[in-house]
Structure formats: C-alpha cells, structure tokens
C-alpha cells in the first residue's frame, strides 16, 4: 500500500482543504479494499452521490471517507442532525473511513475503519442551530462522538504509517459482526456497556466496577430507571455475542 498522496493536478485548486480532499479520494480509489469481504478494491462513486463515496462491487457495502490534517480525537463534525438520527434508527448509516494525513509531504498517517452498525444515538451530538444571520439560518448539524464508540469498532487499517495486514482487519470486523444482528435501538445499550467495560482499562473486571459507571450510563439513557439490571442484561448479550466471557462469581473477561 502506497502511503504517498497524489499531487498531480492539485495546483489548480486554491483551497488547501479542497486539494487534500481531491488527493485523499484519489488515493483511496487506488488503495482501499473492503474490510467486510475479500474484495481487494472499492469503486469510487460520482461526486454527487449522497452519503457514500465508495462501494464494494462484491458485497455492496457503502463507505464514506472523511479526511483531516489533524488526528481524529473525540468529535467528528457531520451533517444534519435529523438525517443522522433517522439513519441510525433505521440502520442506514454508512461504513466510515477516517483518514489522517500529513501535509508536508502529503502522505497518509493513519486510517481507521468504523463499521456502520457501530453508530448509536449515544454517539450522536446535536449542535446549536445556525444563527439567524447565517445563509442556512436555523439549520442543525451534528457531531459524532468518537469516544462513545468502543475501541473494538475503531479498526486500524493504517497505524502510525504502518499498514495493517488485510487479514487482521477483516478478522477484527468479523469478531464484531454479530452486533449487526441486534436491532438499532437495542444495539445502543450493548455498545455503551461494551464501551464502559473497555473504559476500565483492563481485560478482567468485577461487576461492582461496572456498576460504578452507572451515572455515566444514566446520562446516556435518561429514560431508563433500572440501570444495574440493564447492565447485567447487556453483559449477557455481550457474552452471547462472544465479546465477553463469564468467569463466575461476578467476574468477567473481555475477549
């Protein structure tokens, strides 16, 4: 995989962000593969195609590419809040590639893959409406809260300028794929409990340790007044999906 971003023809664009977008899309068309199946390439779609930029001709998975000169941290600016809210509930969110590039020389620093089923309402933040003086006054955008998406679902394709073997990427996706079988409204709880368990920073944990995170889960799900029973239920779901093992006596291990 060539990590140098193409520069040919970029001089005609004045905006640095536009040059980066054109270059990263061109690089992606030549280098991306499908993490969800065995296809070694993706088809670039016309620039006016809504939501997705690339599609796999083998499994029909759609992908959106977002690129930036700074590493992606906790928030990712996205489109209209209402549209993303509806897409999550209907299970229509695209798979996402996050490409972090260096400007000098123009090259890929890292690339993350986030499966479509990893986006939940807990990871969606409503932004303030645009001011009345704005061209689209009243329009409400959204942010994707990356820190509300479990690290399991932020799969490295390129880490610190080092490509990850495609087989490893696909195995990481395959491990998470059972989550796609859950209905979107239920999957949110499952991913939030998984994220809470990961936030403990260790492979094995005790039930009281995750109970201690009850208040943070309450903020994500304010309409639920039975947080601890819900936690236990979701731990069972994670066990059934193979993402968690019960060790007995209130002890658990993340697989």
Q: Are residues 85 and 207 in the same domain?
A: no
- CATH number for position 194: 1.10.10.10
Residues 6+ apart with CB under 8 A from 99: 24, 28, 65, 66, 67, 68, 108, 110, 111
Walk along the chain (255 residues) and give the pLDDT tens digit of each residue. Answer: 889 998 887 778 777 778 888 899 999 999 999 999 999 999 999 987 888 999 999 999 999 999 999 999 899 999 999 999 999 999 889 999 999 999 888 899 999 999 999 999 999 999 999 998 988 899 999 999 999 999 999 999 999 999 999 999 999 999 999 999 999 889 999 999 999 999 999 999 999 999 999 999 999 999 999 999 999 999 999 999 999 999 999 999 998
The residue among 239, 232, 237, 234 whose CA lies nearest residue 254 is 239
- CATH number for position 97: 3.40.210.30
Structural tokens at position 176: 């998470």
Specify the number of domains making up the chain. Answer: 2
Give me the domain span that covers residue 232.
182-255
Q: Are residues 114 and 221 in the same domain?
A: no
Structural domain ending residue among the three candidates 173, 192, 210? 173
Q: Are residues 224 and 198 in the same domain?
A: yes
Structural domain ending residue among the three candidates 173, 196, 218? 173
Q: Are residues 120 and 232 in the same domain?
A: no
Residues 6+ apart with CB under 8 A from 128: 140
Residues 6+ apart with CB under 8 A from 220: 122, 148, 192
Separation between Cα atoms, residue 232 and residue 230, nearest integer Å: 5
Q: Are residues 43 and 78 in the same domain?
A: yes
If phi > 0 it is left, if psi is from -120 to 50 it is alpha, else beta; for residue 163 that is beta
Q: Are residues 199 and 152 in the same domain?
A: no
Is residue 118 within 8 A of residue 86, CB to CB? The reply is no
Q: Give the number of residues written for the chain.
A: 255
Is residue 227 within 8 A of residue 218, CB to CB? The reply is yes
Structural domain ending residue among the three candidates 130, 156, 173? 173
Q: Are residues 118 and 53 in the same domain?
A: yes
Separation between Cα atoms, residue 112 and residue 15, nearest integer Å: 25
Q: Are residues 56 and 115 in the same domain?
A: yes
């Amino acid at each position: 995989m060539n990590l140098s971003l193409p520069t040919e023809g970029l001089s005609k664009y004045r905006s640095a962000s536009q040059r980066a977008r054109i270059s990263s899309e061109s690089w992606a068309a030549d280098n991306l593969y499908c993490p969800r199946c065995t296809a070694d390439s993706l088809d670039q779609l016309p620039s006016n195609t809504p939501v997705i930029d690339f599609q796999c001709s083998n499994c029909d998975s759609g992908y959106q590419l977002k690129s930036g000169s700074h590493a992606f941290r906790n928030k990712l600016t996205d489109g209209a809040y209402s549209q993303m809210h509806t897409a999550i509930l209907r299970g229509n969110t695209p798979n996402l590639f996050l490409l972090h590039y260096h400007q000098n020389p123009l090259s890929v620093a890292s690339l993350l893959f986030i499966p479509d089923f990893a986006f939940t309402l807990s990871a969606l933040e409503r932004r303030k409406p645009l001011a009345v003086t704005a061209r689209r006054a009243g329009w409400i955008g959204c942010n994707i809260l990356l820190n509300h998406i479990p690290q399991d679902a932020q799969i490295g394709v390129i880490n610190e300028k080092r490509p990850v073997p495609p087989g490893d990427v696909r195995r990481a996706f395959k491990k998470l794929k059972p989550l796609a079988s859950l209905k979107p409204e239920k999957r949110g709880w499952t991913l939030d409990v998984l994220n809470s368990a990961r936030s403990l920073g260790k492979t094995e944990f005790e039930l009281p340790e995750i109970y201690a995170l009850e208040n943070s889960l309450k903020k994500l799900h304010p309409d639920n007044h039975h947080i601890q029973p819900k936690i236990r239920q979701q731990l069972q779901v994670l066990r059934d999906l193979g993402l968690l093992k019960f060790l007995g006596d209130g002890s658990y291990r993340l697989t």
